[in-house]
Structure 1
Amino acid sequence: MTDPQNPNDPPSSVPPAPPAYGQPPTGAPQAQPQYGGAPQYASAPPPSYAPPADAPVPGRTMGIIAFILSFFVQLIALILGIIALVQSRKAGAKNGWAVAAVIISVVLMVLGAILFFAVVIPLITYSSEVVQACQAVGFEGTVEVRGLTVDCSNANR
C-alpha cells in the first residue's frame, strides 16, 4: 500500500503507526480517525411518506358529523362534507363519510326543491283562490274552486 501523502515511497508490509495520542489496547478494534474534530453520527432514517397505520385520517370526524347532519340540515352538511373531503384528499386518504354526506345532502336538497315546487306552491295558490272566491260571495255559503266544494262560512274564522 502506498502512502497517499508520499506516493514515491515504496509500499511497505508494516501497518501504519498508531495515532500520536496513544496506543490502543491490544486486541481492541482500532477507532477510525476523526477529521475536522466533528463527531461522527449514524445517518438519519429515511423520511416516512405515509402516516402511521393507526394515525387518524384528517377530516374523518368532520365527515361523520356532516353525514349525521345531512339528514337534517343539508346545506351545512354539504359545506362540512366538502371541507372534510378536501382535508382528507390533501392528506392522501379516503373519506367515505364525507362522500356519503355530500351525496345525501345534494339528493335531499334536490328532493326538497322538487317537493316545494310540487306541493307547497300549488297549495299556496289554491288557498289564495279559495279566499278570492269566498270574498266574492261575502264569506257566506259554498263555492267551487278547481272542482272542489269549499264552505266559506268556516273561512272567515
Structure 2
Amino acid sequence: MTTPPSGNDPYQPYGQPPNQPYGQPAAPYGYTPPPATNGMAIASLVVSIVSLVVCAGFTGFIGAILGHVAKSQMKRTNEQGGGLALAGIIVGWLGFALFIVGAVLFVALVVWAENSIDDCYTDSDGYFTCD
C-alpha cells in the first residue's frame, strides 16, 4: 500500500508539474519568435502591382502611400517588411508617373491631331470646300 506524495516529498512524480497548463511553454529556452511582417507593406506592394497591370498606373499613388504608412508603422512596432514597403513605394510612384506621362502624351496627340486635320468638307452642291 502506497501513500500519496506529501508537499515535502523530494521526488516529483512523472508528468506535468502541478499548477501549470498542459503542453510546452509558449517560448521554451528563451526562444523569441521572429517579428511579424507588416500587413500594410504587403498591401502596398500588391496594390502597386495591380495598379500597374490592371489600371495602367492610375491608382499607383495609393500603393505608394500605403508603403510610406507601412514604413512609419514598422519604425514604431519593429515589424519586418521594409523591402516590401520600399518596393511598393517605388512601383507605385513609377506606375503613377507613367500614367501621368501617358495622359500628357495622349492630350498632346489629340491637340496635334485637331490642329493638323484640315477643315474640308463637301457641301450640298457637291463642291469640296476648305475653311
Band of TM-score, shorter chain: 0.5 to 0.7
> Which structure has more helix as a fraction of its residues?
2
Deviation at 1:122, TM superposition (A): 2.0
Q: Which residue of 2 aligns with 1:115?
A: 102
Unaligned runs of 5+ in 1: 1-51, 144-157
Query: Deviation per CA, 1:26-61, whole angstroms, max 9, x where unpaired?
Result: xxxxxxxxxxxxxxxxxxxxxxxxxx424424xx21
Q: Which residue of 2 aligns with 1:12?
A: none
| Aligned partner letter, 2:113 | S
Q: Which residue of 2 aligns with 1:40?
A: none
* 1:100 matched to 2:87: yes
Deviation at 1:76, TM superposition (A): 1.1
Q: Which residue of 2 aligns with 1:38?
A: none
Identity %: 19
User: Equivalent residues in 2 for 1:1-157 (5 A)?
Assistant: 52-57=32-37, 60-71=38-49, 72=51, 73-94=59-80, 95-117=82-104, 119-130=105-116, 133-134=118-119, 137-138=120-121
TM-score between the two structures when normalised by the length of structure 2 = 0.53
Deviation at 1:125, TM superposition (A): 0.4
Query: Deviation per CA, 1:95-143, whole angstroms, max 9, x where unpaired?
Result: 21111101111122222222322x2122210232256x22xx2367698
Unaligned runs of 5+ in 2: 1-31, 52-58
State how far apart, in whole Å, the 2-side matches of 1:139 and 1:82 are. Answer: 59
Bigger relative contact order (CA 8 A; separation at least 6): 2
- How many residues of Structure 1 are paired with residues of Structure 2 in the alignment? 86
TM-score between the two structures when normalised by the length of structure 1 = 0.46
